[in-house]
Amino acid sequence: MAHVIREISIKDVENFIDLLSKIYDESEFTFYNPGEYSPSIASASQNLENYITSPSKAIYVAESDEQLVGYAFVNTETYERTQHEAVIYLGVKKYYQKHGVGQALINAIEAWSLNHKIRRIEATVVTENGRAVELFKGTGFQIEGELKDKLYINGRYYNEYVMAKILN
């Protein structure tokens, strides 16, 4: 299954909203309940524009069969003491999981991070999301800690791992 990883463009806004909505609806381990994510095109465009023009943020998307199938957000701090650190958020449509899309997105984020003098990349992952935990471990991330009762989903609390990778 061939896919292309690239930085997002403002012209992707409608397809990106659709991608996020689909991923949030089909995954039980996101911040949004099914149907809860529904931004206007104007607000999503503004948000994308902020990422595209910011030197401390980026969004990468995965394309397959001429559709968006995954994303990775990266955010860095501008404070001197924490500007070496980036936090990432990643999602891939279920159908495209286990086909190298997540790994390719992480690789793109790592390349971006190295170009921006980032030393530490951090992500949080629901402890029961085995696929995501294995993906991050497989790309060199280590579990550094556990956040108790971080998410409340369908009447149940879930913990999250704090996972990080130190870049050389």
- The bridge status of strand 67-76 relative to strand 85-92 is antiparallel
- pTM (two decimals): 0.93
Contact 90, 72 (CB under 8 A): yes
Q: What are 136's two structure tokens? A: 């991050």
Q: What is the pLDDT of residue 155?
A: 93
113 Cβ partners below 8 Å, 6+ apart?
Answer: 74, 86, 121, 167
Kindly report the CATH class assigned to 4-118.
alpha beta
Q: What is the pLDDT of residue 77?
A: 86
User: pLDDT tens, position by position, for the chain (168 residues)?
Assistant: 689 999 999 999 999 999 999 999 898 888 887 777 878 889 889 999 999 999 999 999 999 988 999 999 999 988 999 999 999 999 999 999 999 999 999 999 999 999 999 999 999 999 999 999 999 999 999 999 999 999 999 899 999 999 999 998
Where do the domains of the chain lie? 4-118
116 Cβ partners below 8 Å, 6+ apart?
Answer: 55, 56, 76, 86
